Structure 1
Amino acid sequence: MPAPAVSVIIVSFNSGPLLLQSVQAALGSSLPVQVLVSDNGSEDGSMDSLAGVADRDPRVELYRGDRNRGFAAAANRVLPQAQAPWLLFLNPDCLLEPDTLARMLAVLEDWPDAGIAGPLIRNADGSEQPGGRRREPTPWRSLARVLGLQRLRPGDHRFADFNLHRDPLPDAPVAVDAISGAFMLARRAALDRVGPLDEGYFLHCEDLDWCRRFRDAGFTVLFVPQVAVVHHKGVSSRARPVRVEWHKHRGMMRYYRKFFLGAHPRPLFWLVGIAVWARFVLLAAWLTFERRRS
């Protein structure tokens, strides 16, 4: 086999039939790839469906976990087995086209300072998915979002949302604060300097943390709008929506403590914490009501 140009790392947890589709799509890339699937103790048979693929195709390696250790821990577990100069951290519900990786690497040849890059993330209906290009969610931006201040002062950049999907799509690659964790293409040399994902996050916000650390190390976080992938969002998390929201809000608070605790007035930090957890309580109540009603 030729040496892989990209090592594709897929973390799975009860990902259903889309896991097999995602692996097969990655194997269909026009570039030579290595596919590493790190499972978090799935019980839905999705890993069993890959066993035959791994037996037939030496490009596929399966790593089964005994329990759910979270995204970052599962991804980091297989890093030592990655052989390529580029590492793609890909969600199991994200489907590549045959030329996706080749087009991304062609762009990155002109951006030697880019340490990590992501494409345009689309929903199944073709619309742009939130999170594919983001400003940093500072405590102030998050508070403004929770309180809906951007609706009161539309057009005021001080109250702008950190998601950029409602802004006009750029016609060329641009540097952003963060890309989506559904598709993170990292330069191995940059990753070795920045370090692996922070395993203190269980689910959500580890991508924000990583992008921040790439930027702090002097690398560009690149959004590539001319390359698009479809992300069938949330396949693994639909069974436990309240638990997912708990980890999302907990991850955001960890992010704030890690990067902003000493940079903002304490009262603002406390107010943000109250707003974040109040939002979680209201959202958890709504999700529980909806689930019981259905």
Structure 2
Amino acid sequence: MDKRVHILKNRENMGFASAANLVLPHISSEYLLFLNPDCLISPDTLARFVKVMDSHPQAGMAGGLVRNLDGSEQAACRRAVPTPWRTLVRICHLDKLFPNSKRCQNFELHRQPLPAHPIEVEGISGACMFVRRSALEIVGPMDEAYFLHCEDLDWFMRFRAQQLSILFIPDIEVVHVKGVCSHRQPIRVLWYKHRGMVRFYRKFFRDEYPLLLFWSVIVVVWVRFAILAMGILMRR
């Protein structure tokens, strides 16, 4: 094994944020790559990330074009922050009912044409986050209260609150074999995803929405979890 490689092995599953934060005291480089184990990257990916970030000093983190195995772009690759209202729009398909309404826009941007150059976005894929260490020291590590899912959304909000931009780089491609690490426990993963979303909403948006609307969204989130979990059980 290459002497530059150091492996920290946990005895139990600590969750994504906790496990990622565990390595921070052992790293001194200017940049850090947070990469899911089910991702594939090219040999020059790191060098290309560094080049773009060096030319955008205000950027706190960057992500690339994350594709599925079939070559299609993953929905979370570039996105707006899924606020409670945007989530309600998506779940209720209001963007399809009112396609010309600016207020009823989906938070996913992958259906839009790819930009020709790196652009600033509200969110990238949490499967591949290239982070500037000096920015991380300002913002702080990921919130370990999220076990799985939504810790990346939390981080995006905190980076942008510190005026640190998030870049989407279309010519850096990553293949993400989505779900390969979680297919054995789909309902458990689904539970963590929806619980994380509720925490995310309560942390950042609880005081920004009318109480009735806010809690209606929370109810919709859990109803969605129940429907999806029931679908998984029926298929089994």
**What is the aligned partner in structure 1 of residue 51 from structure 2?**
106
Letter of the 2:46 partner, please give it. L
The number of equivalent residue pairs is 236
Letter of the 2:55 partner, please give it. D
Q: Distance in 2 between matches of 1:82 and 1:286?
A: 43
Q: Which consecutive residues of structure 1, in runs of 5 or more, have no partner in the other structure?
A: 1-55
How far did residue 289 of structure 1 move?
1.1
**What is the aligned partner in structure 2 of residue 254 from structure 1?**
199
Deviations, residues 115-169 of structure 1 (Å, cap 9, x unaligned)? 0100010111111011011101111000111111111112323111111111111
> Could you tell me the TM-score, scaled by structure 2's length?
0.98
Measured on the aligned residues, the alpha-carbon RMSD in Å equals: 0.9
Structure 1 range deviating more: 152-161 or 252-261: 152-161
**What is the aligned partner in structure 2 of residue 27 from structure 1?**
none
Q: Distance in 1 between matches of 2:149 and 2:106?
A: 18
Q: Distance in 2 between matches of 1:209 and 1:175?
A: 17
Q: Which consecutive residues of structure 2, in runs of 5 or more, have no partner in the other structure?
A: none
Q: Distance in 2 between matches of 1:228 and 1:246?
A: 30
- Where has structure 1 moved over 4 Å in runs of 4 or more? none
Letter of the 1:174 partner, please give it. I
How far did residue 101 of structure 1 move?
1.3
Q: Distance in 2 between matches of 1:234 and 1:60?
A: 26
**What is the aligned partner in structure 2 of residue 269 from structure 1?**
214
**What is the aligned partner in structure 2 of residue 10 from structure 1?**
none
**What is the aligned partner in structure 1 of residue 231 from structure 2?**
286
**What is the aligned partner in structure 2 of residue 141 from structure 1?**
86
2:33 is paired with a residue whose SS is strand
> Could you tell me the TM-score, scaled by structure 1's length?
0.79
Residue 70 of structure 1, aligned match among 10, 15, 29: 15
Structure whose CA Rg is larger = 1
Letter of the 2:185 partner, please give it. R
Higher relative contact order (CA 8 A, sep 6+): 2
Letter of the 2:106 partner, please give it. D
Asked whether 1:171 is paired with 2:116, we answer yes
**What is the aligned partner in structure 2 of residue 233 from structure 1?**
178
How far did residue 77 of structure 1 move?
0.7
2:76 is paired with a residue whose SS is coil
Structure 1 range deviating more: 104-113 or 194-203: 104-113
